[in-house]
Structures are given as C-alpha cells and as structure tokens.
Amino acid sequence: MKNFVKVSSFVAAVLCPQLCLATGSAELYSSKSYGYGRFEARARFAPGDGVVSAFFLWKDGSEKAGTFWNELDFEKIGAACSLQSNSIYGNPSANHTKQQTTQGDLCGGYHTYAYEWTADAVVWLIDGMEVRRDTGAAAQAFADNATAMQFHFNIWPGDATFGGTLNPSTLPVHQYIDWVQYSAYQNGTFTLTFREDFNANTLPDGWLTGNWGSPKNLSTHAPENVNFINGYAVLSLTADNALGPAGAMPGNPSGGSGGAGATGGATGSSGSSAGGSANSAGGSTNSGGGSTNSAGGNANSAGSGANNASGATSGGGPAAAGATNGSAGTGAPSGGGASSAAGSTNGVPPTTTSTSSDSGGCSFSPAPGRNAFWFALSIPALAFLRRKSVRRGRAGKSV
C-alpha cells in the first residue's frame, strides 16, 4: 500500500500539469530551412494581455544539448500590443532583446515583417522600414553557426513575467498570416525563390504544425488550432475544450507594404544605401516591387500593400541547453521552461519539460477535451507504474 501511495503521488505529479492546462495554443512552421536571404510575412498579431503572438526564424536542432542556438524573433506582447525583437544565440544561449517603436496598430491591421540575413548583418524590417540592424559579433554568431533557418509562427499564453497575464474569458483570439515568401541572397541581390499564399483550405506542402508545450508550459500547441480560411493561415489561442478557428475573421484590411519585389538591394556589407530595405531596390508593391506573385508583390493589395506580422520565437520550445530568456544558462528557455522578462525563446520542443502547472492548483476531476483523456489514462498508469517508473517525455513534431 505504501508503494501504491508513492506511485499515486508520482502519477499526480505527471498528469496534473496536463489536467491543469486549460488553454490550447498553436504553431505553424516550414519543414524546409533556408540560407541567406529575405524572410517575409504579411500578418496581423493577436490582441490581448497575456497573449504572445510571434513570427520567428529558427535553426533546426538548436534545442539539443551542446548545440549552438540560433533564433531571430518578432514578438507581440502585452495588452498594448507592443513589439519586441530578439536575437538569441550562443552555447548556452543568450537573448539580445530590443523593444521596437512601431507605427500603426499591429493587432488591428496587417503589416509586413521581414528579416534580411546575410553574412554581414541581420536586419529587421516592418513595412519596408528598417527597425533594427545587428552587425559585428552578433551577425558573426549566425554566419558561423547557422547554414539555414526555418519560418515559424506561433501564439501562446504568457504570464506576469513575460507577455502579460491571460484572462481566459477573452478567448478565443487569432493570429492571421496572409502570405509568406523567401528571397535568396547572392552577389548583393535578393531574388524571390518561393511564396505561399495559403489559398488551399488544408495544410500546404512543406508546412508542419507543432504539438508540444508552449514556452511557459501553460498550454500545448494543438494542430486543430492551425487552420486555413479564405487565403489566410489562422493560428488560434483557445480554451482546451474549444479548439479550432471559431470566430476567426481574417478580412483583408488595407495598409502596410505588399512585399518585396523579385530582386532587392543588398544588406550587410553593401549597407542599406545599396537598397537594404524592401522599399528601395527590391521595392514594395507600392514602389515597383510588382503586384503579381511572381514579382513578389501582393495581388490583393497591389497599390495599398499589406501589413504583416510574424513571429515565433516565441513559441516552439526551448531545449535543455537553452538559456532562460535573456540570460545565459542551462535552463529550458522556451518550449517547456519559463522565459524571463527579457523575452522568450522559440523553436522546437525541449528535451525536458517543466512540471509546473498553470496557476490555481490542480484537480483530478475529469476535465473536458484532452484533459479527460489524460485523466482516463491515470488508472492504467497507476498499475503500470507499480512495476516500472516512467520518465515523462515530449511529443515530437507533427503534420
């Protein structure tokens, strides 16, 4: 009986976090990684305090122990829809954060977010305007340790230390992505290589959805919360028993730039004077980038252009070797561990997970949705754990 009590306590420790997760989050990412170039997306971030909405670039495998971490972020945080940019790199990783001053409502309208990554610089742009440029050692950290990076988008609940405190009554909320495109960089020029307009109602080829814990471990990314509606990818933050895009209204507001043209100016060694921003040599749809897809513009916004949002660093998940947002260390920064006030890391599932649960304690009464499933598993788990201890693992990526 004594052993059974010990086992029961262990089951409670393992299952309680799942029972307490009352929120379903979402992550969408590209299966392919891309080298030096311009990574762009037209998007609208999700509103609300405690809602982190992001577009980020991630070097696959950064979360693995002993691996040099490489990640770049646009993250919307807080009730005021503030924007933060992050450059996260190192072994162990460290977060280099900047609070961005932006024009327009990032949660009420669409904007175009872009990273220009070359051997000499990493540049963040919003609607064709440069808002941050990292050179020197910061750029070298990516040139030396990352050959390619993936597109990632996610939405997840924060807490009082980062992103704000979520009020569940405000759910569901949604992040919308109009289009994504990549322009390869070579010999000082950006050349459009691919564009995804999300015109199908199903997950496009070359894209995957996450199913791991979010950075604060207050939710689990659910494939059901990634949907495609009227030419938009929709990422939803919902109650755990109400997964899906209910209430989503992508719309097609005007404003923002329509994306870079097929060729663009170089950033990095040639500097912005050579056409570093999307509005110069490459041009937005408003300045010669072209309104057709082949030219890199947005057919729906030809002249008016579109704003877009991006983001994930915030979402995926940290690795055991990662640093808690902002400070170097061995903690698990994003996926399963806590992120610091300096920002959160994003990316793939961590190799270990925190057992901390949502605030407010945990009950073993069956909860609706996936929580009921975990509760149902508790009985056979008790019998199994009498004979063998089980290490709690992480689910892998799924389509």
Per residue in 331-369, pLDDT (tens digit) is 333 333 333 334 456 755 443 333 333 333 333 333 334
Cis preceding linkage at 17, omega within 30: no
Model pLDDT, residue 100: 82
Report the alpha-carbon distance of residue 82 to residue 66 in Å, rounded: 33
Range in 15-24, 77-86, 132-141, 189-198 the model is least confident about: 15-24
Q: 21-65, pLDDT tens digit by residue?
A: 589 999 999 999 999 999 999 999 999 999 999 999 999 999 999
State yes or no: pLDDT of 207 exceeds 60: yes
Consecutive H or E run containing 73? strand 69-77
Residue-wise pLDDT tens digits, 170-188: 999 999 999 999 999 999 9
According to the model, what pLDDT value does residue 184 have?
98
- Is the per-residue pLDDT at 228 higher than 50? yes
Share of the chain above pLDDT 90, in %: 55
Which range scores top for mean pLDDT: 256-265, 300-309, 364-373, 385-394? 256-265
What is the residue-wise DSSP string for 224-260? GGEEEETTEEEEEEEETTS-S-TT-------BS----
Domain 24-356: which CATH number of 2.102.10.10, 3.40.50.11540, 1.10.10.10, 2.60.120.200: 2.60.120.200
> For residue 333, what are the CA distances in angstroms to 66, 155, 249?
15, 16, 32
Q: Any idea where the domains of the chain sit in the sequence? A: 1-21+367-399, 24-356
CB burial of residue 104 (10 Å; 0-12, 13-18, 19+):
middle
**CA 284 remoteness from chain centre:** 24
* pLDDT at residue number 366: 35
Distance CA 115, CA 132 (A): 10
The reported pLDDT for the residue numbered 326 is 35
**Phi-psi region at 206: left, alpha or beta (left = phi > 0; alpha = psi -120 to 50):** left
The whole-chain average pLDDT of the chain stands at 72
Q: Is 290 exposed, middle or buried (0-12, 13-18, 19+ CB in 10 A)?
A: buried
338/332 Cα distance (integer angstroms): 7
